[in-house]
A = this chain, B = another copy of it.
Amino acid sequence: MRPGLEPERRDAARNRELLLRAARELIEECGADGLTMGTLAQRAGVGKGTVFRRFGSRAGLMMTLLSDAEAHFQGRFMFGPPPLGPGAPPLERLIAFGEERIAWVLEFGELARAADVSAYNRFDVPAAVLWHRHLEMLLREAGVTTDPWLMATSLSAVLEPERILHAVRVHHIAPERLAASWRELVSRVVRGA
């Protein structure tokens, strides 16, 4: 989490733990949208400035809270067992990627939404870039030769947390139906190649 060689000062480390613990508690109680930076500071017993020094912004805090789940997911599709991980045919990996991503969004989506940096560069956070590259690679392997980069962009758009949560929570679409639609979409994209 902190890649730097120089160690963290003891008070800083203690405050970070305090803040993360308090943040998880607050999210448990009020949901991610109900967490405010002021309340968090108060609950953790530190000043508001400390919260922002640690995490930069509200979105940064949410990204930190997500990073475990994110790293786990990344590990699975990059190094884990097929069909999500390497070893399966690309179309099957694409299908598995979407299915797993939908499940992931249903579990962590609220946090993921809160972690979206408002502004343009929400698509340039490392995790999003990695997902995009992964999709692009699978498309290439599956024989999609016409602009796989943009095609990966389109597929990423389909899997956005905001849309998925909206479909499930507002329109009561069953997750399995989302997965089926994803299978259909990605099959047609690849088969047309």
CB pair B192–A121 under 8 Å, yes or no, is no
Q: In the complex the two chains form, what is the Cα distance from A160 to B156 in whole Å?
A: 12
- With both chains docked as a complex, state the minimum distance between the C-beta of A139 and any C-beta of chain B, in angstroms: 11
Residues 109-157 of A at the B interface (beta carbon under 8 Å): 120-124, 146-147, 150-151, 153-154, 157
Decide: A120 and B165 in contact? CB cutoff 8 A. yes
Q: Does A163 contact B (CB under 8 A)?
A: yes
Q: Number of residues in A with C-beta < 8 Å to the partner?
A: 33
Over the window 156-191 of chain A, the binary record of Cβ atoms lying under 8 Å from chain B Cβ atoms (1 yes, 0 no) is: 011010110111011001000110110011011101
Q: Residue of B at shortest CB range from A120?
A: B166
Tell me whether A167 and B184 are in contact (CB under 8 A). no
Residues of B within 8 A of A191 (CB): 188, 192
User: Residue of B at shortest CB range from A187?
Assistant: B192
- How far is B173's CA from A151's CA once the two chains are assembled, in angstroms? 13
Query: Do the beta carbons of B167 and A158 come within 8 Å of each other?
Result: no
Q: Contact at B150–A167, with CB atoms within 8 Å? A: yes
What's the Cα separation between A124 and B171 when bound, in Å? 10
Nearest CB of B to A6, in Å:
32
CA distance A146 to B153 in the complex (A): 23
14 A–B contacts, CB within 8 A, in A order: A120-B162, A121-B166, A121-B170, A146-B180, A147-B181, A151-B181, A151-B185, A154-B158, A157-B157, A157-B158, A157-B163, A184-B192, A188-B188, A188-B189
Q: What 4 A-B pairs come out closest when comparing CB atoms? A: A188-B192, A150-B181, A157-B157, A154-B158
Give CA–CA (A160, B160) in the complex, Å.
Answer: 11
| Residues in chain B near residue A121, CB distance under 8 A | 166, 170
